[in-house]
Amino acid sequence: MSELKDLAWSVQEQVEPTPFDTIHQKGTRRRHRKQLFAAAGAAAATAAAVLAVTLPTSLPKGDNAPPPIVTQPTTIVTPPTTPAPDHSTNPAGEALIRSADANVASALFATPSSWIAAWSDCEPQPCRYAARIQRAGMSVATSITDSWFDLVQQGDDVYGLITPDANPLTAADPAWAKSRLASLTSKGLEERRLRMAAATTTFGADEVLVGEGSLRVLNLRTATLRDLTLPVDLGRGYSPVQGPNGRWWITAAKENGKPWQIAWTDDGGKTWQRHTVSDGALPSRIAVSHDGRTIVATSWHDGATFEAIGSVVISTDRGVSWRTVQGTPWARMGGPVPFDDGTAALLGIQPENNAKPTGYLIGTDAKARKAEGWPKQLEDLDGDGKFLHGKSSPTSLAISNDRGETWRTITPR
């Protein structure tokens, strides 16, 4: 029985500048890098049989669950047996996910019991993909696709998303035929083809922002996708993330790449507030803590395979003031993940340690220090501030529910 069962129930209990084209291609380069790692991992996976472990379930959350809040656990409770995959699961997708050649491509947890994990099989080429979705006591596999899944969250719900890459979106793009919005509803697996809508400058409370460089508005109810036009002074937007109060945050840069900006809106894009960062670098990732008070953003220099850090800035007062973090690693591999107490976690590497990722904790003094006891095999880092996770092998994730003090390994099949 998977160790994450105990975790899920314990949480329930506790309730000179580069050309701008380089910036615009950053998200695509990240995907290609992950695909390269996935292909390499597939060859290693054939050397040993992989034990298929199904992640745990938890009490149903309902269709009107609140925004994603994972609280710190207290008591361990033994959960019931994990259910078999739902009757609506896709058999071919199930076979791919459980095959010996499959690797975890990416994962997203809304809660320990509501999550999605994308799997790839690159033996033989070209790669094929399917996703495992678990929610409210059900577990399903999507159908197989030859396109990379982006993972999306709204509240306690998670989605697998495949969109056209063209910028701007055009109705004549043949990639719409392969587009997909996959989710798990009370009736089982739902896979819908996306439809294009007219570009907009605003978005509704029931819509989410997706994309890197070319932000788009995704309506999860109607499965429509449209380009988002930002104010001219912001240029292009990156790393959209929603805070607990509905505020949306992005990093942004005009076509000369610098200075870059941190921007946020409380009214669906009608107005934007801004903070300018002049560090000679390009915008990258932004993340928000569970209570919305701590925000951490990063910038980058072109580091070839790795994302060399330009700077890391942190705010502990909802964006009123900002400080530059000292002691950061050379390159970012995962995170940042902010915490409610004004601290944060980051996964990075130094040039001298043979590209072995190391965990870093950012203190209230805005200084980054190496973390102790983190898995040496971590390849990335994500989470919501109380539940950390990252890929630790071709088929497994390392997870922590105590800010990295202890870790467990699970296989999200």
Which tens digits make up the pLDDT trace of 135-179?
988 999 999 999 999 999 999 999 999 999 999 999 999 999 999
Compute the distance between CA of residue 297 and CA of residue 239 in angstroms, rounded to an integer: 10
Instruction: State residue 81's pLDDT score.
Output: 39
Does residue 63 carry a pLDDT above 50? Answer: no
Does residue 72 carry a pLDDT above 90? Answer: no
Which secondary structure element, helix H or strand E, spans residue 334, and what is its range? strand 331-338
| Residue 304's pLDDT band (cuts 50, 70, 90) | low
Residue 240, both tokens: 């959209």
Q: Enumerate the domain spans of the chain.
A: 1-196
Radius of gyration of the chain (CA): 20
User: Among candidates 163, 221, 231, 159, which has minimal Cα distance to 196?
Assistant: 163
Instruction: State residue 22's pLDDT score.
Output: 47
Q: Identify whether the C-beta of residue 362 lies closer than 8 Å to the C-beta of residue 346.
A: yes
Which tens digits make up the pLDDT trace of 356-396?
899 999 999 999 999 999 999 999 999 987 789 999 999 99
Average pLDDT over residues 6-22: 40
Average pLDDT over residues 92-121: 96
Which tens digits make up the pLDDT trace of 109-134?
999 899 999 999 999 899 999 999 99
